[in-house]
Structure 1
Amino acid sequence: MDERDWMILQTLYHKKNITKAAQHLFISQPALTNRLQQLEKVFGVQIVNRGRRGVQFTPQGEYLAGCAEDMILTIQKMKENVLNMEGNVAGTIRLGVSNFFTDYKLPNLLKLFKEQYPKIEFKVTTGFSSHVTQLITNQNVHIGFVKGDYNWKGQKRLLFEENICIASKEEIDIRNLPQQPRIDYHTDSQLKASIDGWWSENFTAPPLVNIEVDKADTCKKMVLNGLGYAILPSMILNDVEDLYKIMIKMKNGKPIIRKTWMFYHEDALKLSIVKAFIDFIENTDLENSV
């Protein structure tokens, strides 16, 4: 079996549909089906059952699909180590990135880094910071960019801090928030807990949440259209001037601060591509970069 075979198993396991898996892999459906049949001959077992609802993996197929994740990662690491032996800054760097960092910082950073090192490619996995922390803990990525304070025992660098703000199209009296329409968005549990704690300190009534959206950027656009107020990290508001903003503080006077960190393993610095990227990040003004 080669890397492509493991990729077929991994993709088919996630897609549960031969047509969708073939499209994702940019191969024809007959080619994927033929290769799957060849794999079943190699192992002497049936890997999937085909039905109207897609494909269902047999117990043996479930085991092989689980092995596929490990095998692909092992092959990637082998390639990285071989390229590293030549002393070239080349290969694929694997990044785990929080959703906010992906939307507002990552594209320009990757562009600038690739201008310096054109032989570099990127594999980026995005999600909530809790998921990214798990990825870096399991060494599924070289570097993780997370927001919030997580229990991480490896190497880390504080990249920037930001305040949490109430944002509204019109001036708003903070004492009247429970009666004002609020727009919420899906965020990580740490930030939600901080905002809920602040609310409990200041109000006895629950917030009047009229709109819930999936992303902070969508939430900001709702606020800009006068549909309600929102509680957002300050950095997402830097590119707009016509919003009324109030930095929220706990009753002890301390503002709610959200930190963004870069996590990585010490051993990862042995790879020239990882060291080059970490050096690049540490020498970039991330707080003011777009």
Structure 2
Amino acid sequence: MDDRDWLILQVLYREKNITKAAKELFISQPALTHRLQQMEKEFHVQIVNRGRRGVQFTPQGEYLVKCAEEMLLTLQKIKENVLNMDDQLTGTLRLGVSNFFTDYKLPGLLRLFKERFPDVEFKVTTGWSSDMAHLLYKHDVHIAFVKGDYNWQDQKELLFKETICIASAQPVDINNLPNIPRIDYHQDRFLKTSVDNWWAENYSQPPLVSIEVDKAETCKKMVVNGLGYAILPSMLLDDAAEIYRYTLKTKDQQPLTRSTWMFYHEDSLKINIVKAFIEFIQNLDLKDVH
């Protein structure tokens, strides 16, 4: 077994399909099947059962997949430690980034860091904040950028706060909001809970949701085209000067805000590129990054 074999097991377990796994691994299906047969021969067990609906892992195969995760993580740490012995800043920085931060801050951020440290590479995983926090917990990423106040017990930095706004192409009567068409999008659970609580405090009837989309950016475009109002983070509206916006406020008239955090493990600071990146973020005004 080499590191490529462990990766094959990991990808095949995720895809449950030899064709898809081979495509992701950039190898042919016969080559993947051959490697799988060699692994079964080496361990004297059947790793998968092949069927019309893909592959199913045997109990022995499930165990090997669990070992694959541990082996690949160990190998990654060995590589990082070897590179860390050199004074030159090099290696791969693994980041888990929330979708919103990816769209509005990450490209400019990585460009600035790359200009300063050209030998550093990036492996970026994007998704919901909760998933990114879980990746960090498992040490699958070095640093996680998340939205919302997660109960993270290790090191964290508050990057910025943004207000939550009602956004509309035309002026709206806030008191009549339940009767105005609303555009909703898939939100992280912290933002959804905050908005739902605010609504319950101010209205006795549910919102009139007329359109539901998957992304905040799509939602904004719907608002710009006058198809209804939406409740959006203020940063999303920075490039939409024509949009009317009304900041949501709590009962004591405090603006409703959402926090963006950088989470990391303290022991990751022993890795040169992680320490350099965190210090880079700490000394950077993210409001100026586009």
Pick the TM interval, shorter chain: over 0.9
For 2:201, the equivalent position in structure 1 comes to 201
For 1:116, the equivalent position in structure 2 comes to 116
Deviations 1:166-185 (A, max 9, x none): 00111111111100111111
Distance 2:52 2:279 in 1: 52
Deviations 1:24-68 (A, max 9, x none): 111111111111110111111111111111111111111111221
Distance 1:150 1:75 in 2: 29
Distance 1:87 1:4 in 2: 29
TM-score by length of 2: 0.97
Distance 2:68 2:212 in 1: 37
**CA RMSD for the aligned pairs?**
1.1
SS at match of 2:287: coil
For 1:286, the equivalent position in structure 2 comes to 286
SS at match of 1:14: helix
For 2:271, the equivalent position in structure 1 comes to 271
SS at match of 1:287: helix
Alignment-mate amino acid for residue 106 of structure 1:
L
SS at match of 1:204: coil
For 2:50, the equivalent position in structure 1 comes to 50
Alignment-mate amino acid for residue 214 of structure 1:
D
SS at match of 1:153: coil
Distance 1:182 1:271 in 2: 47
Counting only pairs closer than 5 Å after superposition, residues 153-164 of structure 1 correspond to structure 2 as: 153-164=153-164
Structure 2 residue 75 is the aligned partner of structure 1 residue 68: no
For 2:231, the equivalent position in structure 1 comes to 231
For 1:221, the equivalent position in structure 2 comes to 221
Q: Which runs of 5+ in 2 are unaligned?
A: none
Deviations 1:207-246 (A, max 9, x none): 0111111111111111111111100000011011111100
Distance 1:185 1:288 in 2: 27
Distance 1:158 1:194 in 2: 19
Distance 1:223 1:108 in 2: 26
SS at match of 2:288: coil
Distance 2:59 2:181 in 1: 51
C-alpha displacement at 1:264, in angstroms?
1.0
Distance 2:81 2:259 in 1: 33
Alignment-mate amino acid for residue 86 of structure 2:
E
Distance 1:82 1:2 in 2: 19
For 2:175, the equivalent position in structure 1 comes to 175
Distance 1:158 1:257 in 2: 13
Alignment-mate amino acid for residue 244 of structure 1:
Y
Distance 1:69 1:102 in 2: 26
Alignment-mate amino acid for residue 67 of structure 2:
C
For 1:37, the equivalent position in structure 2 comes to 37
For 1:96, the equivalent position in structure 2 comes to 96
Q: Which runs of 5+ in 1 are unaligned?
A: none
For 1:246, the equivalent position in structure 2 comes to 246
Distance 2:69 2:176 in 1: 52
Distance 1:235 1:158 in 2: 16
Distance 1:182 1:289 in 2: 31
C-alpha displacement at 1:156, in angstroms?
1.2
> Runs of 4 or more off by more than 3 Å in structure 1?
none
Distance 2:111 2:149 in 1: 28
C-alpha displacement at 1:124, in angstroms?
1.4
Distance 2:92 2:110 in 1: 12
Distance 1:110 1:256 in 2: 29
Structure 2 residue 226 is the aligned partner of structure 1 residue 210: no
Q: Between the two proteins, what is the percent identity of the paired residues?
A: 68
C-alpha displacement at 1:137, in angstroms?
2.2
Deviations 1:183-211 (A, max 9, x none): 11111111111101110111000001111
Distance 1:131 1:140 in 2: 11
Distance 2:71 2:185 in 1: 37
Distance 1:170 1:162 in 2: 22
C-alpha displacement at 1:147, in angstroms?
1.1
